[in-house]
């Protein structure tokens, strides 16, 4: 792991018994001694704390920042209120994904959060497109630490550390406040299907913030959580992960993310291609599968019907909250109706599965 990057919390993770694995070029804990199941359940029932400092953050500033951001992604950010946050993505001109991201409208900048694995690629892509625009894209990933506090008790835990009334920070908005004495951008969002927060603050305070949060949540049962729990939580809520459900090989229509696109806001990169796919129909679509015959469907396992390979699994597992063997998979539209029976090839053996509704777990903020 010598060449892997470390977050400022690396030594803390090791001291806590975190099992460090390579992820997106970083050494990160896949789990702590509590184990991925216990960590998953903690987030659903109480709260979990995640080091997600590997993720990238850019500030887009300048006179043309808004016009530029309208041009590079499909959402009409002109509709966004100050402090509002929104999910979106970047597309290539052919409609395939560069990356997905989160956008915040801050008083002094547009703040965007991108996947760690795509940070350099995104920056290069945006810089290339920014030629001719009066704006700067500033990569603040290194000086900024990012943690996620997720779960039904996230608000009451965070409230102990800040004077800001968190009832005034509704879901999908952000606020600037002191948390444990550290100047922090508090964003009410997450990647687990639960209510919670993503916190952005100066990286030199990473350990202090981590320790303060763990201490504040100790009585409630807050657990530090690793990458495995993060993956199983987002999987149950059917939140896409770059490199799995989305990539340069698929488009927003296939990935069932066309709802993000605002068609009336004017041109944006990829618009014509995505619109054409929407009108003509995609060749493949993302579906949820449940195993009828027991077995663990895993990424890249083929999906078959009538003795023919028709698609593949993008993520699959035994969903911890639901206790069902589930997968997300790409299949042709003809096989995408709920109830359709297909087979997942598990270690070359066909196992029966059926298409089921997504998401598998309805996020707390959608109930």
Partner 1 sequence: MPFQYDPQARYAKTHEWARLEGDLVVVGISDYAQDALSDVVFVELPAVGSVVSAGSAVAVVESVKAAEDVYSPVSGEVVAVNEKLIERPELVNASPYEEAWFFKVRPSDLGELDGLMDAAAYEAFLASQEH
- For binding to partner 1 (CB under 8 A), which residues are involved? 19, 30-31, 35-37, 228, 232, 294-296, 298, 317-318, 325, 347
| Residue 205 in tokens | 């305070």
Nearer to partner 1, 215 or 299 (CB): 299
284: exposed, middle or buried (C-beta count within 10 Å: 0-12, 13-18, 19+)?
A: buried
Helix axes 119-129, 65-72, angle to 10 degrees: 110
Among residues 63 and 294, whose Cβ is nearest to partner 1? 294
Q: Toward partner 1, which CB reaches closer, 17 or 281?
A: 17
CB of residue 242 to partner 1, shortest distance in Å = 20
Rounded to a whole number of angstroms, the minimum distance from the CB of residue 318 to partner 1 is 4
Cα atoms in the Cβ-side hemisphere of radius 13 Å centred on 162: 25
Q: At what angle do helices 227-236 and 36-45 cross, to 10 degrees?
A: 50
Compute the least distance from the CB of residue 231 to partner 1, in Å.
9
- Rounded to whole angstroms, the Cα distance separating 345 from 297 reads 8
Q: Are 352 and 295 in contact (CB under 8 A)?
A: no
| Residue 172 CB neighbours (<10 A) | 17
- Least distance (Å) between residue 159 CB and partner 1: 32
Question: In the bound complex, what is the minimum distance in angstroms from residue 300's beta carbon to partner 1?
Answer: 12
Between CA 311 and CA 343 the distance in angstroms is 10
Q: How far is the CB of 360 from partner 1 (least distance, A)?
A: 15
Contact 229, 29 (CB under 8 A): no
The residue among 347 and 367 lying less far from partner 1, judged by its C-beta, is: 347
CB distance 94 to 283 below 8 Å? no
Nearer to partner 1, 56 or 297 (CB): 297
Task: Strand 110-114: give its sheet, edge to edge.
Answer: 85-91, 97-105, 110-114, 56-61, 136-139
Q: Rounded CA gap, 129 and 270, in Å?
A: 13
- With respect to partner 1, which residue has the nearer C-beta, 139 or 231? 231
Comparing CB distances to partner 1, the nearer of 133 and 360 is 360
CB of 291 to partner 1, least distance (A): 10
């Amino acid at each position: 792991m010598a060449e892997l990057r470390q977050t400022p919390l690396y030594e803390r993770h090791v001291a806590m018994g975190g099992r460090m694995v390579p992820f997106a070029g970083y050494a990160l804990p896949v789990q702590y001694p509590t184990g991925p199941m216990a960590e998953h359940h903690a987030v659903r029932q109480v709260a979990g704390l995640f080091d997600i400092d590997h993720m990238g953050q850019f500030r887009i500033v300048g006179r043309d920042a808004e016009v530029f951001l309208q041009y590079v992604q499909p959402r009409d950010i002109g509709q966004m209120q100050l402090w509002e946050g929104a999910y979106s993505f970047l597309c290539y001109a052919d409609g395939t994904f560069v990356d997905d991201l989160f956008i915040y409208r801050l008083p002094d900048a547009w703040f965007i959060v991108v996947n760690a694995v795509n940070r350099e690629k995104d920056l290069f892509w945006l810089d290339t497109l920014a030629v001719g625009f009066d704006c700067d894209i500033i990569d603040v990933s290194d000086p900024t630490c990012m943690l996620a506090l997720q779960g039904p008790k996230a608000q009451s835990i965070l409230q102990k550390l800040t004077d800001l009334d968190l009832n005034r920070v509704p879901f999908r908005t952000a606020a600037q406040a002191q948390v444990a004495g550290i100047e922090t951008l508090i964003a009410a969002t997450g990647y687990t299907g639960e209510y919670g927060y993503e916190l952005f603050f100066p990286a030199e305070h990473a350990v202090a913030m981590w320790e303060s949060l763990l201490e504040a949540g100790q009585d409630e049962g807050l657990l530090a959580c690793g990458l495995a729990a993060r993956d199983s939580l987002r999987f149950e809520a059917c939140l896409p992960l770059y490199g799995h459900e989305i990539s340069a090989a698929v488009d927003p229509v296939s990935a069932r993310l066309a709802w993000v696109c605002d068609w009336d806001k004017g041109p944006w990169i990829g618009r014509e291609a995505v619109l054409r796919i929407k009108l003509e129909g995609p060749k493949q679509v993302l579906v949820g599968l449940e195993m009828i015959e027991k077995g663990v469907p895993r990424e890249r396992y083929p999906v078959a019907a009538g003795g023919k390979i028709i698609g593949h699994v993008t993520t699959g597992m035994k969903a911890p909250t639901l206790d069902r063997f589930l997968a997300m998979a790409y299949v042709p539209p003809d096989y995408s109706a709920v109830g359709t029976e297909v087979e997942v090839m598990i270690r070359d053996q066909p196992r029966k599965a059926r298409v089921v509704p997504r998401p598998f777990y309805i996020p707390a903020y959608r109930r």
